[in-house]
Chains A and B, each alone.
Chain A
Amino acid sequence: MTRWAMVADLERCVGCQTCTAACKHANATSPAVQWRKVLDIEAGSYPEVSRTFVPVGCQHCADPPCLDVCPSTATRKRADGIVTIDYDICIGCAYCAVACPYQARFKVDAPRFAYGEVATRNEVERFDPDRLGVAQKCTFCVERIDAGLAGGLVPGMDPAATPACANACIASALHFGDLDDPESNVSRLLREQRHFRMHEELGTGPGFYYLYADRTSDPAPEAAADPASQTPAPTRAKGIAPALQSHWDWRAAGNFMGGGAGTGLLVAFGLASLVAMPHRLIGLAALALVATGLFLVWLEIGRPWRFLNVLRHPQRSWMTREALVAAFLFPLGALGLWYGHPALVGAAAITGLGFLYCQARILTAARGIPAWRVPAIVPLIVSTGLAEGAGLFLALGALLQPPAAATTLVAGALLALVVLRALAWLGYRAALARDGAPTATLDALGRVSPWLWLPGTALPVPILAAGLVTADFVPWLWLGGLAAFAAGWVLKLVLITRAAFNQGFALAHTPARGAGPAGPPVKPGWTFRPAAVVPH
């Protein structure tokens, strides 16, 4: 077997970006698209400061999160470990981009040139319309590897069969080769030198290794740093610390808001129909909300007319599964509303529940976003979706006057859901605190927290409880419902567009250079807080 991998020697790398430039030439990437680049990471506090240059790009993981999530099967992994993208079937949903913990994926929706509107001659020559609106990333220069192998060359040894970045590296810091060959250049380097992989704890199995030197036999400087001073300072962390993901904007959030509230409303409708069939417009509104959410996300994808490709990956992609569930949800909902049959309505509601669950799992599968990938987000997304729907049911009830029994049932359910959501929120934030999260994520969640507690919980709970106890408060149930619903939408808008900071970059060790010990780990922009002191 063959497993192609890149080895970057952090003791050698000088951050010159020759690999970055060579990659841009070899792959004709658009301005600001860098399949390969070198980070410049500072750590420590003056005067005990280190600065490390770290080549990054697609890590060609053994267990690539991008592959699991891809709904179209455009992302694949070859037997030799290279993760590829088929531009012809990619729908440009960017799910892979948020799933990648290495920020390795790009999407360019419109032609972009070095000097504005008009392409230079080389840009005209290399322009590839197939790459517009789809995901793109480092391929390990797979064409060179394949052509080289066909010609009897050895990738990593023969330049014609070696990725452009490794060829270009002027410090001999980048090495490419076959991990499965114990005699290969990369196997030898890994055998002989200390190394780590980035974000090893995420279990992605990167095919990208970092050599770091540790020459502890050398005496340390006499002014050995106080361990506290070795705590990485976050001073210069731009481009290194977690950044707000930009791939999914309000349109994607709209899918979680519309889909969550819509399916929740459908469930509330189904629940109510157990005692008395509510006004059909409520059910229609539920379907319309889900449809609107899906329409919004359709607006966001880079290749909208390939949308049916979303159905190609039911084996692993929760996005495919969401789409498949939607394919049942709408006919069942339509039939239920048309015939007014509680069984059909119930079936639609159960499908809605499934859709809601898929949405939650879409987020957990996005392993590139710490705020999303925690399993504790599932009960939060499900409970808030249901609470939004029940709340909306009550709010719409002010206009559409559902039967009193149905209202009471839904109000009771909402009361329970609001409490459950509050518990899920606590559990979610505790999980983030336990596992660690980008500081900016925690800050964003801290800012949205009052919404959860005040309009989301403190306002609806007494109204709902009072409404259940005395009829005097029934006319006010719409307010409790609306508050619970609104808080849920604010929460999801924030989760998708404000709290969704990516993994950022981190080093398990900073390298020695020529002499001295290796340095401590660097993970700028992250906070680990004991659960007990998490602000609610």
Chain B
Amino acid sequence: MGAKPRTERTVSTYCYQCVAGPDLLQVRLEDGVATEVRPNFDAADVHPAGGKACVKAFGLVQKAYNPHRILRPMKRTNPKKGRNEDPGFVPISWDEALDLIAAKLQAARAAGLTDEAGYPRVAASFGGGGTPTAYMGTLPAFLAAWGPVDMSFGSGQGVKCYHSEHLYGELWHRAFTVSPDTPLCEYLVSFGANVEASGGVCGVKRHADARKRGMKRVQIEPHLSVTGACSAEWIPIKPKTDAAFMFAMIHVLLHEHAREFLDGVFLKRHTSSPYLIGPHGYFLRDAGTRKPLVWDLAAGRAVAFDVPGTDPALDGEFTADGIEVGPDRETWSHAGVRVRPAFAHLVTHVKDYSPEWAAPICDVPAATIRRVANEFLDHARIGETITIEGRELPFRPVAISLGKTVNNGWGGYECCWARTLLACLVGALEVPGGTLGTTVRLNRPADNRWSSVTPGPDGFMHYPMNPTEKETWVSRPPVRSAHRTLVPLVANSAWSQALGPTHLAWMMQGEDFEHLPQATPPDVWFVYRTNPAISFWDTEAVGAAMARFPFVVCFAYTRDETNHVADVLLPDCTDLEGLQLLRIGGTKYVEQFWDHQGFALRDQAVPAQGEARDFTWIATELAHRTGLLAPYNEAINRGAAGIRLSGEGYDFSLAPAQAHGVEEIWDAVCRAASAELTDGAESQGLAWFREHGFRVKPFPRLQWYLYPRVVEQGLRFELPYQERLTRIGHELGHRLHEQGITWWDRQLEEYEPLPKWRDLAGLWEDALARHFSVRIEDYPFWLITARSMQYSWGGNVGLQMIREVADNVAGHGSVVMNAAAAARLGIGDGDLVEVRSPLNHTQGRVMVCEGIRPDTLLMIGQFDHWATPFAKDLGAPSMNALVPMMLELTDATGSSADLVKVKITPMGRAA
């Protein structure tokens, strides 16, 4: 070591650079300089991973001291925008920068909060799956004070997220993301879920513990990811055929095993399996109460689903009377009609989906598919129970997890449905050991999943669908992605805009979508912790669209490909420089299942470098300069900084009329947090949190599981038969057609009660061939991507240390290719190649390996930088420029999948 430091201390803080956080950590400071990140062992008994921090957190020191940082506000001097235009940024003062922005905002406000097309004049894009909120201080309060803001310009959502899972997961079991109950699970079938790369410290720890316990995980994916590596078995499946595999698993369970091997109690009592289906495909209902009917085997007649003491039939055909309610309240009355339960329809539906049928589709032997299905069933322990916090619950230690590209885009519905249904068949949904949801982002309230469980129609949970009825349908989109108009499932929470078809917002900037208002560019676009010019799909088109935006404000860490079109660059504090209190614990994304809940402080470990400013200071200044101080402070008081500042017996509200300092604001937030956690008994503020880092109280483990809450309320999981969605889909079709919109017709096909197998590979190939007028045979490879634990969401591609350690993990920065396939084309390890899709091309060096299918290429992470310092010299390929944004490849939830057909051409030999 060098000379002994004169002073040394540690600061507790958190890293929330990715959705698998926050990780609690400590920063060692020597002579006031951050030198080392360490786990926070003070949180060892509180944090599910013992207070450990992931590799990305170790990049924070270099992130603070990166010489490429923007450390002064800058303004653009070249009015022309585009990749080949030098922005001519010149330094300006904070005053000038803020005045400039405030003037644009004032002008927008004066012109009306929405423009002539009805879209908000101010737009904002935040990346990282919502994680920027852990760094943006009180900006949400400013946005709340402002009014309508368009947050639908995506930065990766839809194609880079678990999109179908978000929507269907929330509908079926309050699962914005889905997780196995890893600590109890014994058999996990993972279709491309890359938990060892994207599960964060909690996911990695839980799965490592599970392996030691003997949990068998079967990883089914086209390439051997780090998760595949750490699994008991790798089954290389053809890309985008996962639904066929799962359909065949359902077939095995329903057609190759006697019914008593399934969880009949769960199916009869906790799902819609016994609901009778009428001739039009809708539930047969009691004509008076309109309640769905089931066939009571004991009484030998149809009764309402909620009549106690019945023995509802799952199989068979019966004669009954009743009504069906279709779209737009259309009603059919039936007398003596032959009907079958939903379950019987399911059995028929999957009759042809045998392992032998799936084998050639998936390129997986039928015996393997059958064995996995049987092992899944064998491990389910149907009939067993476990006691959690004094409550006896079913114990079903089997689960299925889905990864990106499996659970988004076309096929996402099929896969999410099949996964959730398989859990239902063995009673493993939302029970210990089984398949669980993590958190809610569309349902409300969002404080925990239990709170959001309220009764809805037909014995199911309520779901806040966007309306499709004639009177209430949102015919004029409130934001540029038209999410509320097109996607009922995306709901209308604060998160909905960030989901939905965010690529439509970009596409509409260049294309006319018939019978929707012509999309306008926003007057002011704020960008924070995201780089859509790199992280989206068809990045060239996205880059071109943003270059047409008249005024762009980027909170800039370094120069990058998006802030290349900025008019103003604002240097905000990086992770170790700013101050914020964050809610932690409970159950959250990915595998964050805590036995505690509370708050952690992101303390200022090092002084702000240069003229970087704390985000709360920036937000307060913006509020002040736009005359919105009072609503801004009131928004903070209402909870925009993460917690209401007043409650029973305490009130730390900020005076609305004045500007408050950063520490003053967070001191009030800390006091409210202390009060909330102690039911008002204590009120320690910022100083206390600085000393201790975090504060928690117990979170009941019972709340990891939704089952007890659903049962308590007498509700059922809305599976297998999607009657409600079918009706809504038809209504949506009516509304769109009434407005003359036919370009969403293909998406309407997804609204099926029981999803049918679609040839997804063919769908992609046909769409690409038609759209680009190419011979698809010329593009023989599927190009896919995978998450990198070292980089994902981190905005850390400019950090040397991250690059150095990431390079130890095979595949980073390369075109990963099967050895035999490479040999056939005369391509050797390290050779330079061009990878070309019908849309665009990229270049990179090949890494040949055995752990990938011969028909598949892999590019890990997102690169192709041309402006970001350090990253632009990496020469790492990226698929993002190669994946087209196409309506045809957009599913009903508004997402697509991250894959495309490509060809590969040798460019040069290994260096």
Give A contacts to B, CB under 8 Å.
Answer: 9, 11-12, 14-18, 20-22, 24-26, 28, 31-32, 34, 37-40, 42, 44-47, 49-53, 114-115, 118, 120-129, 143, 159, 164, 167-173, 213, 215, 218, 221-223, 233, 235-236, 238-239, 512-516
Could you name 7 residue pairs across A and B whose Cβ atoms are closer than 8 Å? A44-B850, A125-B5, A171-B204, A218-B216, A223-B365, A236-B819, A513-B232
Contacts of B1 in A (CB 8 A): 28, 126, 128, 143
B212 lies within 8 A of A11 (CB): yes
- A115-B68 contact in complex given A21-B55, A51-B229, C-beta closer than 8 Å: yes
Contacts of B789 in A (CB 8 A): 16
B870 lies within 8 A of A172 (CB): no
B232 lies within 8 A of A515 (CB): yes
Give the distance in Å from the alpha carbon of A167 to the alpha carbon of B373 in the complex. 40
Contacts of B224 in A (CB 8 A): 42, 49, 51
**Is residue B234 contacting chain A, with contact meaning CB distance below 8 A?**
yes
B819 lies within 8 A of A46 (CB): yes
B36 lies within 8 A of A26 (CB): yes
A16 lies within 8 A of B228 (CB): no
Contacts of A44 in B (CB 8 A): 850
Give the distance in Å from the alpha carbon of A416 to the alpha carbon of B55 in the complex. 62
Give the distance in Å from the alpha carbon of A531 to the alpha carbon of B882 in the complex. 53
**Is residue B33 contacting chain A, with contact meaning CB distance below 8 A?**
yes
Shortest beta-carbon distance from B787 to chain A in Å: 12
Contacts of B804 in A (CB 8 A): 24, 31-32, 34
Contacts of A169 in B (CB 8 A): 52
B33 lies within 8 A of A46 (CB): no
B49 lies within 8 A of A170 (CB): yes
B208 lies within 8 A of A40 (CB): no
Give the distance in Å from the alpha carbon of A31 to the alpha carbon of B804 in the complex. 7
Give the distance in Å from the alpha carbon of A143 to the alpha carbon of B2 in the complex. 14
Q: Which residue of chain A lies nearest to B36 when distances are taken between CB atoms in the complex?
A: A25
B848 lies within 8 A of A222 (CB): no
**Is residue B805 contacting chain A, with contact meaning CB distance below 8 A?**
yes
Contacts of B37 in A (CB 8 A): 21-22, 25
Shortest beta-carbon distance from B790 to chain A in Å: 7
Shortest beta-carbon distance from B207 to chain A in Å: 8
- A170-B819 contact in complex given A24-B58, A126-B1, C-beta closer than 8 Å: no
B819 lies within 8 A of A514 (CB): no
Q: Given contact pairs A25-B58, A123-B65, A218-B216, enumerate 11 new A-B contacts (beta carbons under 8 Å).
A: A15-B226, A18-B52, A18-B58, A20-B805, A40-B810, A51-B228, A125-B33, A125-B35, A129-B2, A167-B41, A513-B217
- A128-B2 contact in complex given A46-B820, A172-B209, C-beta closer than 8 Å: yes
B809 lies within 8 A of A115 (CB): no
Contacts of B853 in A (CB 8 A): 46
- A25-B35 contact in complex given A38-B808, A40-B809, A170-B54, C-beta closer than 8 Å: yes
Give the distance in Å from the alpha carbon of A24 to the alpha carbon of B799 in the complex. 14
Q: Which residue of chain A lies nearest to B365 when distances are taken between CB atoms in the complex?
A: A223
In the A-B complex, the 10 residue pairs with the smallest Cβ-Cβ separation, listed nearest first, are A51-B229, A21-B58, A515-B216, A515-B232, A114-B800, A120-B65, A171-B208, A17-B805, A236-B849, A514-B211
Give the distance in Å from the alpha carbon of A197 to the alpha carbon of B849 in the complex. 26
Shortest beta-carbon distance from A322 to chain B in Å: 33
Give the distance in Å from the alpha carbon of A173 to the alpha carbon of B852 in the complex. 26
Shortest beta-carbon distance from A428 to chain B in Å: 31
Shortest beta-carbon distance from B334 to chain A in Å: 49
Taking a contact as CB atoms closer than 8 A, the residue among B65, B229, B805 that contacts A50 in the complex is B229
Shortest beta-carbon distance from A119 to chain B in Å: 9
Most chain B CB inside 10 Å of its own CB: which residue of A9, A122, A129, A159: A122
B229 lies within 8 A of A222 (CB): no
Give the distance in Å from the alpha carbon of A238 to the alpha carbon of B812 in the complex. 13
Within 8 A of A (CB), among B20-73: 30-31, 33-39, 41, 49-50, 52-55, 58-59, 61-62, 65-68
A173 lies within 8 A of B208 (CB): yes
**Is residue B368 contacting chain A, with contact meaning CB distance below 8 A?**
yes
Shortest beta-carbon distance from B858 to chain A in Å: 13
Q: Which residue of chain A lies nearest to B23 when distances are taken between CB atoms in the complex?
A: A170
Give the distance in Å from the alpha carbon of A125 to the alpha carbon of B201 in the complex. 29
Q: Which residue of chain A lies nearest to B370 when distances are taken between CB atoms in the complex?
A: A222
Shortest beta-carbon distance from B236 to chain A in Å: 5
Q: Which residue of chain B lies nearest to A221 when distances are taken between CB atoms in the complex?
A: B233
Within 8 A of A (CB), among B216-265: 216-217, 224, 226, 228-234, 236
B55 lies within 8 A of A52 (CB): no
**Is residue B371 contacting chain A, with contact meaning CB distance below 8 A?**
yes
Shortest beta-carbon distance from B696 to chain A in Å: 20
Give the distance in Å from the alpha carbon of A55 to the alpha carbon of B227 in the complex. 17
Contacts of B201 in A (CB 8 A): 170
- A118-B67 contact in complex given A17-B809, A25-B36, A25-B37, C-beta closer than 8 Å: yes
Contacts of B850 in A (CB 8 A): 42, 44-46, 49, 233, 235-236
Shortest beta-carbon distance from B150 to chain A in Å: 37
A222 lies within 8 A of B371 (CB): yes
Shortest beta-carbon distance from B5 to chain A in Å: 7
Contacts of A11 in B (CB 8 A): 208, 211-212
Shortest beta-carbon distance from A321 to chain B in Å: 34
B790 lies within 8 A of A17 (CB): yes
- A223-B368 contact in complex given A14-B230, A120-B65, C-beta closer than 8 Å: yes
**Is residue B901 contacting chain A, with contact meaning CB distance below 8 A?**
no
Contacts of A122 in B (CB 8 A): 33-35, 61-62, 65
**Is residue B367 contacting chain A, with contact meaning CB distance below 8 A?**
yes
A49 lies within 8 A of B234 (CB): yes
Contacts of A12 in B (CB 8 A): 208, 211-212
B819 lies within 8 A of A513 (CB): no
**Is residue B118 contacting chain A, with contact meaning CB distance below 8 A?**
no
Q: Which residue of chain A lies nearest to B225 when distances are taken between CB atoms in the complex?
A: A51
- A114-B819 contact in complex given A17-B805, A125-B31, A221-B371, C-beta closer than 8 Å: no
Contacts of A512 in B (CB 8 A): 232
Give the distance in Å from the alpha carbon of A239 to the alpha carbon of B847 in the complex. 13
Shortest beta-carbon distance from A135 to chain B in Å: 16
Give the distance in Å from the alpha carbon of A53 to the alpha carbon of B224 in the complex. 13
- A46-B236 contact in complex given A52-B229, A122-B61, C-beta closer than 8 Å: yes
Contacts of A218 in B (CB 8 A): 216, 232
Contacts of B209 in A (CB 8 A): 172
Taking a contact as CB atoms closer than 8 A, the residue among B62, B217, B236, B851 that contacts A120 in the complex is B62
Contacts of B230 in A (CB 8 A): 14, 53, 513
Shortest beta-carbon distance from B231 to chain A in Å: 6
Shortest beta-carbon distance from B60 to chain A in Å: 10
Flag B1-16 by CB within 8 Å of A: 1 or 0 each.
Answer: 1100100000000000
Q: Which residue of chain B lies nearest to A215 when distances are taken between CB atoms in the complex?
A: B214
A125 lies within 8 A of B53 (CB): no
A37 lies within 8 A of B808 (CB): yes
Contacts of A235 in B (CB 8 A): 819, 848-850
**Is residue B210 contacting chain A, with contact meaning CB distance below 8 A?**
yes
Give the distance in Å from the alpha carbon of A45 to the alpha carbon of B217 in the complex. 21
Most chain A CB inside 10 Å of its own CB: which residue of B38, B201, B236: B38
B58 lies within 8 A of A39 (CB): no
Shortest beta-carbon distance from B853 to chain A in Å: 8
Give the distance in Å from the alpha carbon of A16 to the alpha carbon of B31 in the complex. 30
A25 lies within 8 A of B61 (CB): yes
Contacts of B848 in A (CB 8 A): 235-236
Within 8 A of A (CB), among B62-87: 62, 65-68
B805 lies within 8 A of A514 (CB): no
**Is residue B174 contacting chain A, with contact meaning CB distance below 8 A?**
no
A47 lies within 8 A of B204 (CB): no
A115 lies within 8 A of B55 (CB): no
A167 lies within 8 A of B211 (CB): no
Flag B800-817 by CB within 8 Å of A: 1 or 0 each.
Answer: 110011101110000000
Give the distance in Å from the alpha carbon of A25 to the alpha carbon of B67 in the complex. 18
Shortest beta-carbon distance from B419 to chain A in Å: 20
Q: Which residue of chain A lies nearest to B606 when distances are taken between CB atoms in the complex?
A: A121
Contacts of A52 in B (CB 8 A): 229
Give the distance in Å from the alpha carbon of A125 to the alpha carbon of B62 in the complex. 13
Q: Which residue of chain B lies nearest to A33 when distances are taken between CB atoms in the complex?
A: B804
**Is residue B865 contacting chain A, with contact meaning CB distance below 8 A?**
no
